Amino acid sequence: MIPGGGQPNMQQLLQQAHKMQQDLAKAQEELAQTEVDGQAGGGLVKATVTGSGELRGLVIDPKAVDPEDTETLADLVVAAVQAANENAQNLQQQKLGPLAQGLGGGSGIPGLPF
């Protein structure tokens, strides 16, 4: 027979939940400090975002600048930022996915895309 009628130790559960919350906060802080790159046009445009998706830098090769065709440059910028954000989301899932599952699934954590 299990002591306590099979009920889990509430104090132990609270301690585990608190530790998971601390681990999650630490991982989110690490993501905010980690920079991830994305590029478009074979590297003509490079974007740098944080692991949490904040745009930090944009590098445009002069070869990508055509005053007669600014639409292509705009498309390359958008594509580079999207690529960087995809890389940031992958990093988020690597760092936060296991923690989110430990807290009962990612769907209940605001601000996380999974």
Predicted pLDDT at 114: 46
* pLDDT string in tens for the chain (114-residue length): 445 556 668 888 888 888 888 888 888 888 888 899 999 999 999 999 998 889 999 999 999 999 999 999 999 999 999 999 999 999 888 888 776 665 555 444 455 544
Predicted pLDDT at 1: 45
Name the token pair of 56: 């930090």
Among 18, 65, 21, 57, smallest CA distance to 41 is for 65
Q: How far is CA 108 from CA 14, 68, 103, 114, in A?
A: 18, 48, 9, 9
Report pTM.
0.67
Phi, psi of 110 (to 5 degrees): -60, 140
Predicted pLDDT at 19: 86
